[in-house]
Amino acid sequence: MKTRFAPDRGLSSRMLITSFLLGLLYVGFVALLIALTKSAVLAVVIAGGALFVQYWFSDRIALYAMHGRIVTPEEAPELHGTIDRLCALADMPKPRVAIADVDLPNAFATGRNPKNAVVCVTTGIMRRLDQDELEGVLSHELSHVAHRDVAVMTIASFLGVLAGLITRFGLYGGLGRNRDQNTAVIVLTVIAVSIAVYAISFLLTRALSRYRELAADRAGAMLTGRPSALASALTKISGDIARIPSRDLRQAEPFNAFFFAPAISGKAGASLSSLFSTHPSLEKRLDRLGVLSRELGEQA
């Protein structure tokens, strides 16, 4: 799908490389499962079933978890109007529009492809941002849809989810009930490999997630021509998220990779290594937007 969002070859190459490496990891993981469980059918059912659910129902799962619901133009005319204008400007299909009734100021895009995409905003972000700031956030989210990195992130996170499920199953299910020494060795081997696969896929998807946020910041700001509005939204949201109760932030953390801004407090975010974060630091995002603002000003 060709749109007016600025193409990003760096993002495209990173998505391709990440998908290729995870694909190799996935094939090796399934092969090991087949060898250790002595059941190709079981391994394929586990892997295929998990991938099918995550790919085809990712939008519904995300909306359900965030208490979001699809809204009509009659229910949210201003929100639909803004997305209509941005989609016309970007020359892209309009995604479904959803609102999550939570105070956490955030937004996310989900869906397996542009035709099945959903852009969701929370009531918290709509209440806090002005029109220009909200437009900047929505343009950022629409760029994720246009660049197809939402689908890539959904698939990329699948292997980690699968490895995590198998690890839990082995620890709390098979290991405790198996008395046979050979079976116990097999279970322990599967658990060890699952942990290693989870760790590798975790690092790969986090690296991709950080870059795609910078790419969406740039593409979204270039589409609207107002990097300062997006920078203002980032500053405001990040400050307000730090005041959200920790319990609410913990509930939202599993979706950090898809959020506009990570659901972590300012203190926690500062102490985390950039290697494990889903987003670049606020300072880096603001610096990049500042450079882009000057570039656009020079061209004007």
| Structure token digits, residue 114 | 């542009």
118-122 vs 96-100, strand pairing mode: parallel
In this structure, the chain runs to a length of 300
Note down the domain range covering 189: 9-263+270-296
- 8 Å CB contact between 111 and 258: no
* 1 within a domain of the structure (yes/no): no
d(CA 220, CA 225): 8
List the helix and strand counts (H, then E) for the chain: 13, 4
Q: What is the pLDDT of residues 211-232, one digit of tens each?
A: 999 999 999 999 999 999 999 9
Q: What is the 3-state secondary structure (H, E, C) of 173-220?
A: HHHHHCCCHHHHHHHHHHHHHHHHHHHHHHHHHHHHHHHHHHHHHHHH
User: Is position 279 annotated in a ligand binding site?
Assistant: no
* 52 within a domain of the structure (yes/no): yes
User: Is position 144 annotated in a ligand binding site?
Assistant: yes
Instruction: Please give the tally of structural domains in the chain.
Output: 1
Average pLDDT over residues 92-107: 93
Average pLDDT over residues 1-8: 76
- The dihedral built from the CA positions of residue 35, 41, 43 and 47, taken in this order, carries a sign that is positive
User: Is position 213 annotated in a ligand binding site?
Assistant: yes
d(CA 43, CA 41): 6
- Our answer to whether residue 141 is catalytic in this structure is yes
d(CA 150, CA 164): 21
* 220 within a domain of the structure (yes/no): yes
* 44 within a domain of the structure (yes/no): yes
d(CA 249, CA 234): 17
Amino acid at position 151, single letter:
A
Catalytic residue (choose from 74, 78, 133, 141): 141
pLDDT-wise least confident of 1-10, 12-21, 49-58, 239-248: 49-58
Q: What is the pLDDT of residues 276-292, one digit of tens each?
A: 788 999 999 999 999 99
How far out from the chain centre does Cα 193 lie? Answer: 25
* 2 within a domain of the structure (yes/no): no
Predicted pLDDT at 289: 95
Predicted pLDDT at 263: 79
**251 confidence band (pLDDT: 50, 70, 90):** confident
* 213 within a domain of the structure (yes/no): yes
* 76 within a domain of the structure (yes/no): yes
* 40 within a domain of the structure (yes/no): yes
